[in-house]
Amino acid sequence: MNKTNPFDGLMSFKEATDLWGLHESTLRKAVSYGKLQENIDVKKFGKQWIITIEAMEREYGPMPKKRD
């Protein structure tokens, strides 16, 4: 049986902005302007925001290769 991790396809705002070369405020503003929808594209757990890779790619283009 092939179990998938429930966190596959998710990343923190920090991880996403580092990969795409954005500032974290860009994602917070996208949420407040309705570009990213809470409970669909993003979710806040305490102080930590999580975003789907699908939403990042939809709004900001394909996932860049990880920077070393």
pLDDT tens across the length of the chain (68 residues):
455 777 788 999 999 999 999 998 999 999 999 999 999 999 999 999 999 999 999 999 999 886 55
Residue 30 has a CB neighbour count (10 Å cut-off) of 19
DSSP letters for 13-66: HHHHHHHHT--HHHHHHHHHTTSS-BTTTEEEETTEEEEEHHHHHHHH-SPPPP
Query: Is the separation of the CB atoms in 41 and 33 below 8 Å?
Result: no
Please state the separation of Cα 37 from the chain's center in Å. Answer: 11
- Domain coordinates in residue numbering, the chain: 10-60
Q: What global pTM score does this model have?
A: 0.83
